[in-house]
Amino acid sequence: MAQLPKGHPSYSVVHEFCQSDVLEHWKLCCDRGELLDGLKRHFRVWVPLVFGNSHDSAKEEHLAEKYLFRPMTEFMCGGNPEEVFSQLKNVDTPSQICGHVFKPGEPTYSCRDCANDPTCVFCIDCFQNSSHKQHRYRMNTSGGNGYCDCGDTEAWKVEPFCSLHSSSMEQNDQVNPVDLLPVDLANRASALFLASLQYAIDLLMWKQCVQLPGGLDPEETVPDIHHCMLFNDEVHSYDQVITTLQRAVDCSQREAIDYATIVDREGRSIVKSGTEQECEKAKEIIERNTSRHNSKPLKVLVMHNVVVAHQSFALKLIQWLQNIISKSDGLRRLFCLLSMNAPPKKDLCDAMEIDDVDAPASLMERVLLADTQLWKVVRVKIHQLLMAGALMDQECKKLFAGMFTKCYEQLMKEFCLDDHDHDVSVMSLSVQMFTVPSLARWLITEYNLLHVILQSFLTACKQKKDKDGRLCFDRNDRSPSFKRASYMLYDIKYALLARPVDPEDWSDALRTNFLNGVVSLLELLRVMQGMDGVTRQTGQHLEFEPEWEGAFNLQLKLEDTLVLFTRWCSMDKVVLIEAYKETLEALYHSYETSKKEKGKCEVAGHTTKSMKYDVSNQPISIHLPLTRFLAALHLHLEKFDLTFHSPELMTKKRLDPVDLLEPPLRAQVMIAQTQAGMWRRNGFALLNQIFFYHNVRCRGEMYDRDILMLQIVASLLNPNDFIVHLLNKFNLLHWAKPEYDIPGGQEDSVRQTVMLAEEFLNLLIILLEERYIPGVGSVTQQDVIKREIVHQLCIMPMAHSELAKGLPVDPNSETGMEDVVNEVAEFKKPSSTGKGKYDLKPEYYKMYCPYFYHYTKAEQSKSEEAQRKRKKQAGESQALPPPVPPPLTSQFAAIVNILHCDVMFHIFKMVLTRTAAQRSRSWSEAQFERILYIIGIALHEQKRAFKEGNTSYDFLTKAMKEDGLLSKLQCLVGNQNLNQDPSRDLLAWSLKQFAEVCTLKSEPVCLETLHSLASCTDQKTETERKRKAEMAAKRRARVMAQISKMQRNFIAENSELFDQTSTELKTVTSDMDLGVMVPPTFPVALGPHRSQANVTGPIQATCILCQEEQEISCSGKAMVLAAFVQRSTVLSQSRGKMLDKKDDYDPLFVPVDLFTGTHVSSCGHVMHHDCWQRYFDNVMNKERRRPLRFRQSFSYDIDKMEYLCPLCEGLSNTVIPIVPSLPSLYPAGNKKEVDLRFDDWLDGIEKTVQNSIKEAQDKESEDDFSLFQPCPISTITRMMAESVAKNFQLLWEYVYDDASGHFSEGMREMLKKFARDVYAFGLSVEPDDESPRVSILAWSTCAFTIQSVEQNLRGEGKSLFGSIPTRQADLIGSLVRFAAVCSQVMNPDMVKQNCVRLLSALIPCDSEKVNKGSPCLLDLDMFHFLTIVTMTLPSLYVDQQHCIVNTLPTGDLNNQHAMQLVVTAHIVQILLTFAWDTEESMDVESDSEGEALLKIYLQLQKTAGLTPEKVPSPYQLLQYVRSAVMPFLRCAAILYFHITGVSPPDELHDHFCTKEYEVLCRYLSLPVNMSELFESVGDITTALIKSWCSSKSLRDRLSANSEKIVRYPIVKNDLVPLPVDYSELINKVSTFTCPKSKDSDDSRAPTMCLVCGQMLCSQSYCCQKDLEGSSVGAATEHAYFCGAGTGVFLRVRDCQILLLAGKTKGCFLAPPYLDNYGETDQGLRRGNPLHLCEERYSHLKKLWFTHAIPETIAHNLEFNSSFTTIEWQNL
């Protein structure tokens, strides 16, 4: 917040404070009934002192408590508040309801089995303690308004209480808790509540900026401090506000962001303080800057300090009141009643200084009505007060709800004009009242709630009407007020959610007022009827796409309301009758205007009068809510013994069934015409409308209802008339004439007619077959869902969410799927990570209808194909006949008459005649199939009629007439026109069906027919088919067997081909059998007795760019591997430690915590260096030509030299040169092996180091890196015994060689390039070839990468050499060889200097310079040390004169001794840091090695000045040390394998090698018995070890107050553990607040770093930070520190994984949490309980540990274009 200018006068405490005086005074005032005045007198002095002095918030709070709140509390209590409150607690009956008020993001749980509606929720505590945990529940996150419904008996069908709020306490509604309060307390509390609420409201609503309400003006003159107060609005963007502020009040960007954040969160913020003039100036600038582009300027007020102070206090007072009333139910009731009671008018008016004319009835009402005038934080606090007060008390809730309803229209009007979100509006409280069934019913009865809401909505609709009084939305009207008005549709839904179930629930008043609501609803539906009418466009395409979304949005929001209104109507006969009549009348009125004349239509001698309305050139609308509402009501008539013609339903103004038919039929015809391509010129708007009309979200109250209305009319009309009406509207009257088929005329329109005819028949099928609607057919709701599921699964097996998506939901958002799905389908789970799928049970396939009306055209053909395929495979007939439809209810029974009416028969015969005709222009197979399908339904009905003895339905007799339907069908058998199997099969099925029906009716005619049928239902074809199918199956099986046999042989013959792909390096095997030559001895890699390197032929590689093969050599063309170098913190043991001084960092001494390292990865693809260079240059040039704005957030960043591997598109940023194997580079003549004891070698080394340092010191060099030039070897040997000296010198016998060690220019260039890149990327610095650090980085990268590989193998329990993938082995080999040869291309002086300096860390010397530079032994990573010493030691005494000398490490004695030195130091590290924490020492075997080791251990500890508390047993110590040293040995084995080429022993390929330790020691020629490294090794060694232990730096480090010491064995890092139940995480983040905000505001996108577990406030301005010159979000910033730029996060509220790499790249991945169906839920949309999937999480862990995140991101960016638009740096 703003600070006062320095030196500004401020209020000083000049007033004496004496609490007892204050209380005494208040008591007097109170007795006189003037407490408010008394309080004001106190506030006018103390409020400015406390709140007007810019104290920090803690101090302010303290002062406020002392001078203001404490006195008030004590006054009320009349004694010690703590005592009084605890007494009150004793008589308190705690609210039955938990009432926990949710914070945004807090988890909520709704029981899908027991909740009355989905708004009923539990908080996590209640849920965990309830029985609903075992039910089907839904988890969600709260939007931040609402409270826990635990204990509300109306919210839950059963078990409304959790065990915390158990119902054992009998609630006694009769006792008024106020009566239990002591009388005097109640009196004082009443006065205080009224006065303080009055004061708070007055101040918060105060509109003046420099004056205070009467009685509050300060006594003395006050300093001129003004504040510039900036208010929130939804017009200006965050960025606009920030830039404006920077200009207007001259602040930094950071400060501006902070102001903007406060404004956004709290609704206002002080942005400047100073004199009135200064503030006015700032205000002017802000207003000027934000009023451009005709927008309203930002609201700014210049307010006096005292006004602001009083307002701050008033806000705190609201909170205080909430706190006080939660102390006891008596106080709460008292407060609520007082605030809702109308006070004596005079007092209030005086206090408010207004005329008493518009004085509102009560304080509470004033609060409600003031809502939109208050700023955000005030609103929120007041709503919280309401929730804790009026809404917690059942009695008061009712009163409050009444008041709320009374004000509803006014409140809504203001809400629509307001610009704050719904959740900070008082309107958001409606859900708390309207969803309570008893309350809603009471509000409808007493306050006409439905009418009130709907009328308010209709008022809002007025602005949207066109000249005909219809709703009409304008795409260009951006005013949000109508959108806001649609919140009312939720309110109406809430109010209707619980319908009255008992007849007693209905009172006459409820009926009357409910019907009032129906009338209002009809009014609304009437203005919607006929919206967005469209006329077919001919000639020109439509110029503008008409607006259509508004109408559909409204329809969508109204959907549930329509369902609920219908439900209510269906519960009571009186209501149903009245509602039906009202709807009929409303329809009549809406219809009058469009009434048209009728014309005569004739088909097959049947004449009827039909409406003249040509769908193809007159306006058509698919918004017909009135008609549909009538259809919905009609379904329930039968229940009350009513029909359309019942006298109860007669009204004068009603329409004929023919008129009712018209609107939905027109819509069907329009859609049919669209199918036939007649509406192509009407553009996408129409297609979208039709799409949504059929879509699962809308169809329930649109398409389905239209079909229902057609069925209703079909059941009411003469069937012949009905079909003629249909034909007329489809414009098919001419088609229905036999002469239509005579050739001639326009072929084009014929095609159209044929398609329309198909659609017409399709509609008939739907009308006859779709009976799965309770009320139409005798079915239950469950049957309906089952049928939907069956048809979904007939398309294909589906996952749970997929299936659910295709099903309609009820107003409680339930599909009802779980109840039935297991009956019809089987859930198959393929694996623990994949999603399971539902497979339809075979017996349900017979329910399949190919013409199912909810299929889209695509689904229809897909399902048909799937079903035919299934049947074909089973060798069954391919006919897809109609299933037996359920019986119709009596109301709809007449529909079947269509099937045997004359006109229908006419159509049957006509189509069959055309089928049989030689040539027919209007025939199509689709028509024929549909006709057969309808006949199939007719036969099903015939069977049913026979069974029921219903003789009025007689399809059969009519069909069997001479030259009738049946004979026509029989004639078609074998007809040439039917060449498709499916239609032939369907024909056969139909005839068989006829035969069955004939058997049922055992009349002679039938038997005769039966006989003739048998001859033509081709039994032969049937058996023939079966035979064929069986043969086909056998053939298939034979072929499959053959193929798999061939495959097996192929693999066996070409096994190498399957092991390696051609792009990897491959060794050319020579013909010689090498196995014979290698003696079967144990391989040793180091020292004079080392084994022979495996002789390998020259290695060949194929360039992936030019496809040429190339031999790998150092003199030929250089070959390179695509590689990616990144800085890594994956192995860090000090998470969060930063590489901050990059330019001064000394990488030589790598700390053992490995807090930073450089990692190299490669896809393993090989190229010529020049081929690569050309490719890379190309990429660069192409990218540079791209405009800048497209370059960002691409999958690779050319500024960082990134490119994608040309073969696999793997992310790369450099290349590694491939060096041939090192032994091939040694000079031919074998070097003579030297014999030199370790102790003597050490002596020489020590002398070298000490002397070199001394010399350097003498020279007084000023170099930062304390570079020591080694002294000449002669200096050293002179100091040695002669025999020793000779051998020592022999170690450095250099071979001057000018052939084999000579690198080609290309190779040198690539070696340098890779070294440069590793340096620049590894340290994030500018490249600098001259830096001595370049070569160090090359070595340490090699070490780090090996360590990371080793840890990964160890973590996965894999063997060291058995399971490294080839490409990784190639990479490590290349890296090691590169590190070994890079000394050849570096400045030899630097190599030598690095060597001496490195050794100086282990060699004691007196130089101050060294002590300053080199770290403590305990902090050195020994594997890095080993790697560097191995690579540099051979160069130690190289003579500068000769440049071509071989200084490659060979694994000779020199290397062996270096290894011994490093291992010794490492074991010292291990023994000194050994912490004994196991309790009992259980000595199983006495062990001499262990005992020796224990002795050494104690000796070392003593030397280091330590006294171990507990002494381990020798065996345990030995086991411990072995396990601790193992990682080092494993890394060393990898290193030396690649240096020497000596194959590691077979045991190291074995996953379960028990002797790994011994094997490693022998391979590395180390003593297996560790104690040998310490005992009898010579004086020099012993002295060295002693000097390590006794050094001061080590002792300091071991002292208790030093930083954390890394202990061994180093534990492999892993991502943080996650809880099994996802809701635990949601709960955890709900208590997480933005670390930047003062008042601990919630964070909008809490995001957890999975590397270190820290929670961050991501994607929010409040936590943006400046990072290297640009502003970034919290996650990006954290990744920079925690993961060297790379991060793995879990976005908790969205339930998704976020990966980040660098500032600009990132991607989202599916979370490792799955529901019971094996599916993830990104965004928590479905709300199913989620549990951790270990396998998925392991996969993510591996991704992180193997440094594959940048790569993964690049891939995702490449394949998901939506990721490229996200500004990752802001997350």
Q: Footprint of Zn ion on this chain (CB under 5 A)?
A: 98, 100, 111, 113-114, 123, 126, 132, 135, 148, 150, 162, 164-165, 1103, 1105-1106, 1163, 1165, 1168, 1171, 1205, 1207-1208, 1210, 1634, 1636, 1649, 1651-1652, 1654, 1657, 1660, 1662-1663, 1682
**In the complex, least distance from residue 1655 CB atom to Zn ion, rounded to whole angstroms:** 10
CB of 1613 to Zn ion, least distance (A): 12
CA atoms 666, 668, 670, 672: torsion sign: negative
Residue number with CB closer to Zn ion (760 or 1124): 1124
Q: Give me the least distance between CB of 801 and Zn ion, in Å please.
A: 22
Asked if residues 638 and 890 have their Cβ atoms less than 8 Å apart, the reply is yes
Tell me how crowded residue 538 is: count the other CB atoms within 10 A of its CB.
11
For the bound state, the minimum distance from the C-beta of residue 436 to Zn ion, rounded and expressed in Å, comes to 17
714 neighbors 898 (Cβ within 8 angstroms): yes
Write down the least CB distance from residue 459 to Zn ion, Å.
38
CB of 95 or CB of 328, closer to Zn ion? 95
> Shortest distance, CB of residue 124 to Zn ion, whole angstroms?
8
Strand partners for 324: none
Residue 1560 or 1692 with smaller CB distance to Zn ion: 1692
Please report which residue ranges of 1356-1448 form alpha helices under DSSP H. Answer: 1366-1385, 1388-1400, 1408-1413, 1422-1432
Give the whole-angstrom CA distance, residue 510 versus residue 513. 5
Q: Which phi and psi angles does 107 have, rounded to 5°?
A: -75, 145
Q: How far is the CB of 120 from Zn ion (least distance, A)?
A: 10
Give CA–CA dist 993/987, Å, rounded.
Answer: 10
Q: How far is the CB of 1380 from Zn ion (least distance, A)?
A: 25
Helix 183-204 to helix 19-31 angle (10° resolution) is 100
Least Cβ distance, residue 1697 to Zn ion (angstroms): 14
Q: Which is nearer to Zn ion, 1451 or 1711 (CB)?
A: 1711
CB of 1064 to Zn ion, least distance (A): 11
Task: Give the count of beta carbons closer than 10 Å to the beta carbon of residue 1551.
Answer: 11
- Of 135 and 1137, the one with the shorter C-beta distance to Zn ion is 135
DSSP, collapsed to helix, strand or coil, labels residue 147 as strand
What is the distance between the alpha carbons of residues 204 and 206, in angstroms, rounded to a whole number?
A: 5
CA distances from 1559 to 1078, 1533, 1545, 1571, 1600 (A): 19, 10, 7, 17, 38
* d(C-alpha 1402, C-alpha 1433), whole Å: 14
β-strand pairing of 1645-1649 with 1655-1658: antiparallel
CB of 1169 to Zn ion, least distance (A): 9
How many Cα atoms sit within 13 Å of 1435 on the Cβ side?
28
Query: Minimum distance between the CB of residue 1701 and Zn ion, rounded to whole angstroms?
Result: 14
Rounded to the nearest whole angstrom, what is the least distance from the CB of residue 383 to Zn ion in the complex? 18
- Quick one: which of 902, 900, 991 has its CA closest to 942? 900
- Collapsing DSSP to helix, strand or coil, 600 comes out as strand
Instruction: Pick between residue 841 and residue 1644 the one whose CB is nearest to Zn ion.
Output: 1644
Smallest distance from Zn ion to CB 1174, Å: 9
The least distance separating Zn ion from the CB of residue 1665, rounded to whole angstroms, comes to 10
Closer Cβ to Zn ion, 98 or 779, answer by number: 98
Shortest CB 1348 distance to Zn ion, Å: 18
171, containing H or E segment: none
Question: Least distance from C-beta 571 to Zn ion, angstroms?
Answer: 25
Task: Render 1158-1183 in DSSP notation, one character per residue.
Answer: EEEEEEEEEEEHHHHHHHHHHHHHHH
Smaller CB separation from Zn ion, 1346 or 1649: 1649
Q: Which of 886, 900, 893, 885 is nearest to 935 (CA)?
A: 900
| Residue with Cβ nearer Zn ion (195 or 1690) | 1690
Q: Is 605 left (phi over 0), alpha (psi -120 to 50) or beta?
A: left
Q: How far is the CB of 381 from Zn ion (least distance, A)?
A: 21
Q: Is 135 or 1595 the residue whose CB approaches Zn ion more closely?
A: 135
Residue among 1405, 1403, 1395, 1402 at smallest CA distance from 1438: 1395
Question: Among residues 1009, 972, 999, which one has the least CA distance to residue 988?
Answer: 972
d(CA 375, CA 379): 6
Nearer to Zn ion by Cβ, of 536 and 1165: the residue is: 1165
In terms of CB distance, is 203 or 1130 closer to Zn ion? 1130
Strand 837-840 with 825-828, pairing: antiparallel
Nearer to Zn ion, 510 or 1663 (CB): 1663
DSSP 181: S
Of 451 and 1168, CB closest to Zn ion: 1168
Residues 6+ apart with CB under 8 A from 577: 640, 642, 648, 649
DSSP state of 67: I
Q: How many CB atoms lie within 10 A of CB 129?
A: 17
> Which CB atom, from 776 or from 1650, has the smaller least distance to Zn ion?
1650
> Which of 1628, 1752, 1744 is CA-nearest to residue 1692?
1628
Q: Where are the alpha helices (DSSP H) in 418-486?
A: 430-434, 437-447, 449-461, 481-485
Question: Which residue in this structure is represented by tokens 């000596």?
Answer: 1542
Whether the CA torsion 483, 485, 490, 492 is positive or negative: it is negative
Residues pairing with 603 in the sheet = 606
Task: Please identify, using beta-carbon distances, which residue of 807 and 1208 lies nearer to Zn ion.
Answer: 1208
Among residues 128 and 695, whose Cβ is nearest to Zn ion? 128
Q: Which of 779, 1103 has the CB closer to Zn ion?
A: 1103
230 phi, psi to nearest 5 deg: -100, 130
Measured distance CA(414)–CA(379) in Å, rounded: 14
